[in-house]
Amino acid sequence: MVLKLTKEDVTEAPSVYVRDVARSRPALAMCVTTLAAAGIAYWPALAFWWSRWFEKESFYSHGPFVPLASIFIIWFNRKSIGRLLLQPSRLGYPILLFAILLGWFAWMGASASVTGFTLPIFLFGAIVAIAGFEVAKSFSFPLFLLWFAAPPPESVLSVVSFKAQMLSINLATAGLNLVGAEAVSQGSHIALPGLIVDVGGACSGFRLVVSMLAIATFFAYIRKGTLYGKVILVAFALPLSIAVNSVRIMLISIVGRYWGISALKIAHDFTGYALLLVTAALLLLFARLVGCAKYKEMPA
């Protein structure tokens, strides 16, 4: 006897959308388990991030705001993400394995910073395994943004910061001579008549570079425009930050020369905040020039 099944006899598994995860116990259990596993596995790296974010004269003081920006982007896209089907893929497991092995080797080498860099990869692989590539694609940019909050190894950080420091000093010295201030660069110092300005690592400009790259990337995402224009916008943040930091060193040096050390200290603190706002304003102005003038439709 041969049994034939009709369409009515076949019961298809009900489709589960992302918005229905809270009502799907297996999917919800997988999400909670994955987040708990990530929290436990990456606790040393997250503790390292936290300590670097809040240390004195940190290069990554913007770090706490990056996860908030990622959460905002996910909320920004919540409706489109909610309409996606959960389609778990086994291809997520090789990605998870790669992140775990890389993180393990970094942990064995006592490098919490490198371990932290594998966290977005781990989360991406977990989303692919639980929900599929379409859902993971919607989370890819918020996960990518997390790398701006991840401090690199100290050896890399010191080298890059030093190069930014020397570049800022040389540009500031050239600018001071251009306005007739008679400046000479001497290592990490700028010598002027009757004054020597010490440009420390915190004033190297690297902190402003990292912060503005993160801000530029975030604004490039939430604004309308071509991919070409958005790439130029993000790339422009690098020379803009170095240039603004060099102007800051110039202003501090001029104030110190003509009004003394007390005025120099006031100028040092004031210009740090003021030029950050100026840099952000110039970046937004440049966004208009490259065709990224309008924001995407905001859900609020």
User: pTM to 2 decimals?
Assistant: 0.82
pLDDT digits (tens, 9 = 90+) for 12-61: 545 667 777 666 677 677 778 878 888 888 888 888 899 989 988 788 88
Secondary structure string (H, E, C) spanning 99-135: HHHHHHHHHHCCCHHHHHHCHHHHHHHHHHHHHCHHH
Residue 18 corresponds to which amino acid?
Answer: V
Packing angle of the helix pair 261-289, 206-222 (nearest 10 deg): 30
The predicted structure's pLDDT at residue 21 = 67
Number of neighbouring beta carbons within 10 Å of residue 273: 9
- Which regions in the chain score pLDDT beneath 50? 1-3, 5, 7-11, 13, 300
